[in-house]
Amino acid sequence: MKYALVTGGSRGLGKAVCLKLASMGMPVIINYQSNGEAAEGVKAEIEAMGGQAELMPFNVGKMEEVEAAMDKWQDAHPDDYIAYLVNNAGIRRDNVMFMMPEADWHDVINTSLNGFYYVTRRCLPKMMMRKHGGRIVNMASLSGLKGMPGQTNYSAAKAALIGATKALAQEVAPRAVTVNAVAPGFIETDMTKDLPQDELKQLVPMKRFGKAEEVADLVGFLVSDAASYITGEVISINGGLY
Ligand code: NAP
């Protein structure tokens, strides 16, 4: 069976993506770091709609944890593989550069960029062997395209993820695996709840923050058969804010 793995699937964009992929008939593996209660809630929602879901907690930024969780899953699923991977887990630790603690620089890059590397590297061999059209979608950001003041760490991590998306897309295209990135602007989730929304939405041509479900619909399209010839792309979803 072909499974979908969504990192950071317990809340926000990842949760909406889990629900979307389940609604498309995919069995979903919900990764999260620490919020088991929220992840259980996503699993219950998927099961209530007749879908199939399982939990896979690990810190995407710790290679040993990624490897151990993947080994355990593969042992329990010898005939299955992860055909759809959404690298969504990410954190913000905003600060002006001259005051940014070293830990905040490294933690943000470790989660978004090294996390992408650890999880994707592990999923690729099976995806490339099957020739059934594997799909990888990386959650980048508008910050990675234009750079945001106060977010040098986050902008660097997301810009690097975009570079990696384009390089990997060319590597694995001969195996019918597509690799794309999604670059959201301001979306209503826990990550943005401390931002002054009334002020910031005035910057958005559509005058509102996006909804997690709107991003999930885009991810759903990118993993679908309809997107089989799209690879190495970065698709913005930002209400017109560039
Ligand atoms: P969120 O509401 O803060 O949720 C973050 C999710 O990532 C949670 O499920 C969390 O798990 C998980 N996570 C965090 N660190 C992790 C780690 N080291 N290992 C595994 N899971 C981890 O964030 P969001 O707004 O949904 O953002 C999701 C992605 O979209 C991020 O990559 C973010 O950079 C990107 N993005 C968001 C926006 C926006 O406006 N919201 C805009 C552009 C890009 P726990 O529940 O266990 O903590």
Query: Going residue by residue through the chain (242 aa), what tens digit of pLDDT does each one get?
Result: 999 999 999 999 999 999 999 999 999 999 999 999 999 999 999 999 999 999 999 999 999 999 999 999 999 999 999 999 999 999 999 999 999 999 999 999 999 999 999 999 999 999 999 777 799 999 999 999 999 999 999 999 999 999 999 999 999 999 999 999 999 999 999 999 999 999 999 999 999 999 999 999 999 999 999 999 999 999 999 999 99
Q: Of the residues 58, 191, 213, which should be mutated to test ligand 1's pocket, given the most ligand atoms within 8 Å of the CB? A: 191
> Which burial class, exposed, middle or buried, applies to 202 when counting CB atoms under 10 A from its CB (0-12, 13-18, 19+)?
exposed
How high is the pLDDT of residue 17? 99
Which residues form the catalytic set?
154
Alpha carbon of 11 to ligand 1 centroid (Å): 7
Q: Name the residue at shortest CA distance from atom 39 of ligand 1.
A: 187
Q: Is the CB of 114 under 6 A from ligand 1?
A: no
pTM above 0.95, yes or no: yes
With contact defined as beta carbons under 8 Å apart, do 55 and 7 qualify?
Answer: no
Beta sheet of 53-57, edge-to-edge order: 53-57, 28-32, 2-6, 81-87, 135-139, 178-184, 234-237
Question: Strands, DSSP E only, in 60-218?
Answer: 81-87, 135-139, 178-184
Q: Name the residue at shortest CA distance from atom 44 of ligand 1.
A: 141
How high is the pLDDT of residue 136? 98
Q: Which atom of ligand 1 is nearest to the CA of 215?
A: 30
Q: Is the CB of 87 under 6 A from ligand 1?
A: no
Closest C-alpha to 120, from 181, 174, 79: 181
How high is the pLDDT of residue 130? 76
How high is the pLDDT of residue 40? 98
Alpha carbon of 176 to ligand 1 centroid (Å): 28
